[in-house]
Amino acid sequence: MQSSTTQVTSLIVLATLIFLLMPVFLIIYIRLYNQHKKNHVIEKQNMQQKFDSEILKTLVEVQDQTMQSIATELHDNVGQLLSLTSLTLNSINLTDQEKAGKKIENSLSLLSKSIKELRELAKLLHGEQIVEHGIGHAIDQEISWLSKTGAYELKVSNDLFDVQVSSPDKDLIILRLLQEIINNIIKHAQATVIQIDTYFSDEKLFLKVKENGIGFDYVETKAKKTGMGLNSIHKRIDMINGKLDLNSSPQIGTTILIEIPYP
Amino acid sequence: MIKIITPSNTVELICLIIAIFCLAKDKSLFWKIAIIYMAITFTTETVASIMSKIFHQYNVWLYNLYILVEDSFVSYGLYKFLKEYTNPKPIIIVGSGLMFISYCFDLYSHGIAELHNITINVSAIIFVVYGLYYFLLLLKDDNFIRLKFHPQFWWVVGVLFYYFGGTIINLFNEVLFVKVSTSHYLRWYIYILLNLLLYSFWSYSFICRARQRRLHL
């Protein structure tokens, strides 16, 4: 009888302990899962911080590019026009009224041209906020600046004016990508024809830039991780989950196709 | 005097003191009620002890009345904490309905003088389900919480330990009246252990709540 009571006692105690152990394991599991969740949230926050800092960097680069363009315009265009105006005005001989009249007329014409150029510059200065008007306008502004150099034959098809959706952060990055590609063409490609196509399809934005320059070895350049801002282009495209397809052949030129989920 | 001091009412008194210290200034209704509940619990346990040990009277009817307070408070607590993640009204209403029906059945079938075992079992199952549901919602939630200092979590942990740990003793209450010492049944020792766990977790939960309030978390 005594033995039977002990057995029953042991059984109840053991069963109760097992039932008490289950919440313990549950708490351990919840704790581990919560820790995992915490790590995930911290990782997400870090990624967001990285993204934000990259956006800021991109914004600064876009501003830099704008300033450079303005400086070039002031020096090469407006500056030259005003110098010429000054020279013309200095050479006026008031005794020869006929010639003086012509020179004043020329000076006025140069001045109105300068004013026109300055107005164009003012537009470029607004370029910093240009993405606010949509990516289509931002790209158009960039292309119009390029066309003004007169160094390239441009073939443009920009279908992004009527895109109903927008993503300001992505717009800024896309604009910067285009700027970097154009910079590379100007600096390295020795191209004469540039073809730019942009369009929006199936919630994806496509940016295609084709030129007829000297080309380069893409694999080698990518492996070396040097120059031409290729790494920066790759990094930014990865950041917005985009894809880059680059084909380059010596003496034929380079074609870049960028595909970005949008918005 | 010594006779009426039991391990259970001692741990309840400690928990009540901690509750008064930590929750007296709390603005949340639930945490305020927690102080009242602990006071009722301690009073019930002590009065039951006096009735039994000094006046040698049957005290089960008092515990049967206390079941109503206990079930209401625990249901309210779980409702409040589940509400942080979902709308718990339907399951709380169903659970409370089941508990009320069991209580009425117990009362009708064997009166107030016999322990309402069916109600105790039904309540335990319902509270375990609520507790597990709370943990499931906690896991599914995208935000992480600092478990170490989360009062709601430790309060539910206490509930789960008490009701889940008491499953065996509740289920086999009728058949397992095993006396393991000269004065007490095994059931008594296990309930002391469960009470110790429950009120320890709740005490810690009250401390966490005071910290949460102080830090405006």
Buried b (16+ CB within 10 A) or exposed e, B149-178: bbbbbbbbbbbbbbbbbbbbbbebeeebeb
A69: nearest Cα among A171, A153, A142: A142
Report the distance separating Cα A122 and Cα A114, nearest Å: 12
Which of A8, A22, A37 faces B164 most closely, judged by CB atoms? A22
Contact, B191 vs B166, CB < 8 A? yes
B159: nearest Cα among B46, B82, B86: B82
Q: How far is B214 from chain A (nearest CA, A)?
A: 23
- Residues of B whose CB is below 8 A from A28: none
CB contact under 8 A, B190 and A16: yes
Over the stretch A159-196, which tens digit does the pLDDT of each residue have? 888 777 878 888 888 888 888 888 888 888 888 899 99
CB contact under 8 A, A23 and B190: no
CB contact under 8 A, A12 and B160: no
- Is the pLDDT confidence value at A1 over 60? no
Q: Count other C-beta atoms under 10 Å from residue A74's C-beta.
A: 15
CB contact under 8 A, B147 and A31: yes
- Is the pLDDT confidence value at A8 over 90? no
Q: How far is B141 from chain A (nearest CA, A)?
A: 9
Q: What is the pLDDT of residue A12?
A: 82
On the 0-12 / 13-18 / 19+ scale of CB atoms within 10 A, A4 is exposed
- Is the pLDDT confidence value at A128 over 60? no
A203: nearest Cα among A249, A155, A146, A164: A164
Tokens of B81: 């904490």
CB contact under 8 A, A30 and B160: no
Over the stretch A24-48, which tens digit does the pLDDT of each residue have? 999 999 999 999 988 998 999 998 8
Report the distance separating Cα A213 and Cα A211, nearest Å: 6
Over residues A96-117, the mean pLDDT reads 86
For chain B, which residues score pLDDT lower than 50? none
Residue A71, CA atoms < 13 Å, CB-side half-sphere: 6
Q: What is the pLDDT of residue A151?
A: 78
pTM of the model: 0.69
Over residues A208-230, the mean pLDDT reads 77
Q: What is the pLDDT of residue A143?
A: 85
Q: Does B154 touch chain A (CB under 8 A)?
A: no
Q: What is the pLDDT of residue B132?
A: 95
Q: What is the pLDDT of residue B38?
A: 96
pLDDT band for position A227 (50/70/90)?
low
CB contact under 8 A, A9 and B143: no
Tokens of A18: 């097992």
Q: Does B168 touch chain A (CB under 8 A)?
A: yes
Q: If residue A204 lies in a helix (H) or strand (E), which one and from where to where?
A: strand A204-211
Over the stretch A56-70, which tens digit does the pLDDT of each residue have? 888 788 778 778 778
Q: If residue A194 lies in a helix (H) or strand (E), which one and from where to where?
A: strand A193-201
